[in-house]
Amino acid sequence: MQMVFDISQDELPIFLAEVDEHLQTLDETLVELEHRSGDADLLQNAFRAAHTLKGMSGMIGHHRMTNLTHALETAFDGLRKGQYPVTTALIDLCLDAVDGLRALREEVINGSLSDYDPQPLIEAFADFTSTSGHHVQPERRVESSPEPPLPHPREAQSNGKHVLYIQAQIDPRSVASAARAFQLMMALQEVGEISTMQPTLEQIETAQPVQTFQAQVLTTAGQETVLEKLSHISEIQHIEVRADGAGQPVIKSEEPAAAPPQSNSDAVKVEAQSQAVLASQPASRGRSNGSAARGVEMTVRTSVERLDSLMNLVGELITDRNHLFQVRNKLEAQAHNDPLVENLAETVAHISRITDQLQEEVMRIRMLPIGNLLHKFPRMVRDMSQKAGKLVDVVIHGEDTELDRSMIEEINDPLIHLVRNAIDHGIEPPEERRAAGKPERGTVTLNAWHEQGRIILTVSDDGRGIDPAVLRKKVVQKGLMSAEEAAALSDEQAVDLIFLPGFSTAEKVTDISGRGVGMDIVQTNIQRVNGTIHIETAVGRGTTFQIVLPLTLAIVPTLLVRVGPATFAIPLVMVLETLRLSPADIKTIRQKPVTMLRGSVLPLIYLSELYNISENGQQRKRLFAVVIQSGKHRVGLVVDGFMGEEEVVVKSLGKLVGEIPGISSAAILGDGSITLIVDVPALLRLAGIH
């Protein structure tokens, strides 16, 4: 069945983004409310989110969504008034409503009726609140008595300004009358200065119904101009504008049925703007001025496609900048005292600085707080722990740490896998934790921070940890390794076995997961974005997974190396150090080249041999090595020389070239030549190092 909503395709993304934001707020607030039931601010946040969602859905004519949010809002109102306590059953009911609202949100996207029926949940709210002393009734607008007239100023204003008095009646059937009052206030601020207003901004913030709006404005605009400005606001039945002293008021009045509907997206925007301004302008509460309107104008929404296009253009600019450096260096070598060359060098240096600043600004625009991803985990942990019969809390640190939008999308699934595994197989049941002398409630901790141009993410639990002995036994049982090979593994190598495809320590399959289920996918997804994952574990004390990621995927800082006539780019995030080697420094263990690095054996990989690159038959007297690390593997890549560090723009190899083992992508250097970007984990697998 088709559904028609009063919203255009251009306005749809704004509506969906606002809905997602308020649903996320409800998720986070409800989970927190279960532990802090007496927190009035949490209740107010939940009520405000539900109220705004009700207004937004009402504006586009989504009555199924409006009815469900009204039931949710009424339940929150009862909690605010202390009519019943916060219980797990009520939180479950509210979270079910949030899930239902997500299903109803999809109806707006698809334009068709879904299988979801909100009526049973609405009736469940009615049953719950009625047995708790409060029944959910259809929303009623209370007729309020007219407010007393606003006072006249004692003397005329100077500078050509005069006082106008405005009174407006808002349609009592409006589902967002507070937003209409806010819209009236914003319109008046555009034509003058509001000296007094009823209701006040603080009263509008409560989101209570408003029927009569009155204001006194100091302005240079005429009565007709102000009336015209206010007439564009929908759901206003009567507007009266009168001047100070003598003269007739100008009036616009119409029957409710004849009121032309405003673009509903405007109402959606007003409701969203009112919440944003009230949240971001605490100092202006209780008074009206132009700062609120200016606060709204500070934010501009744009499409992801435009950001990607802008990033691509900056990438091309970086390539040309590098080319300019090459040209400048050649000219300086040929005519270093030439004034024109010196001018060119100064211009190139200035363009370089501007390009760096532009790149930094574009990167900032693309950056998002990782909290946008992490904030969904409290709800997820609550649902999973209940399903597993465990008591688990989640702690989040570093949610303000910023990461490129594309990177956030890539790490979403790996983080979900890690959290699921922590709950299902890491955290023990309450009785087992009590027997071990631990608190009944386990803890999963998510942490994020910047470190040396990289992002560090950790997922930790205080559960039973990973036992290397159990892993050795499992790998033999599954026929993946002989008993002798398993016994020869160190504890660290045994723990890394969980990354083998299909390997799991879970005794039984659950609908959540066991540690090891999908861990090979986690590692693959992280390595695909030039990241690494490490494990630290202690039996009986818990496990920590550490993920190291670059800041972005589009522009990669690399170390350029030369191997014969070929050039390779190694992501700096993988580089530990560089070495100079002589033939005497290279030894052989089990027919494989190695060297000693500060008392430790460092395996060596010759890129020339790996990719069959000709060396023109010359015997090399001096070699270089790049020490790289992937996971817990540390090796040296033997190369002929270093060409310096350079930021390169990542380019896909394309279908014609296809996949090259050990190579992730390509880049165009400043001199126009092409370099291959090394995929370090894949390179190690190609070299037989696992």
Catalytically annotated residues: 51, 73, 421
Instruction: Give the C-alpha separation, 136 to 127, whole Å.
Output: 8
Nearest by Cα to 404 from 549, 556, 551, 554: 551
Long-range contacts of 260-265 (CB under 8 A, 24+ apart): 260/234, 261/6, 261/234, 262/232, 262/233, 262/234, 262/235, 263/6, 263/8, 263/11, 264/6, 264/7, 264/59, 264/60, 264/61, 265/7, 265/8, 265/11, 265/14, 265/15, 265/59, 265/60
**Tokens describing residue 477:** 């049982």
Question: Are the CB atoms for 198 and 214 separated by under 8 Å?
Answer: yes
344: Cα separation from own chain's centroid:
43
The 8-class DSSP code of residue 270 comes to H
**Tokens describing residue 213:** 């709006």
CA angle 86, 90, 95 (to 5 degrees): 120
Instruction: Give the C-alpha separation, 679 to 530, whole Å.
Output: 7
What count of Cα atoms within 13 Å lies in the side-chain half-sphere of residue 647?
Answer: 22
The three-state secondary structure class of 302 is: coil
Question: Are the CB atoms for 557 and 653 separated by under 8 Å?
Answer: no
The three-state secondary structure class of 531 is: coil
Question: Are the CB atoms for 403 and 549 separated by under 8 Å?
Answer: yes
Question: Are the CB atoms for 166 and 200 separated by under 8 Å?
Answer: no
Q: 210-242: string of b/e by CB count within 10 Å (b at 16+)?
A: bbbbbbbbbbebebeebbebbeebbbbbebbbb
Question: Are the CB atoms for 642 and 577 separated by under 8 Å?
Answer: no
Question: Are the CB atoms for 370 and 408 separated by under 8 Å?
Answer: yes
**Tokens describing residue 215:** 């204001």
Nearest by Cα to 451 from 528, 532, 550: 550
**Tokens describing residue 55:** 């207004």
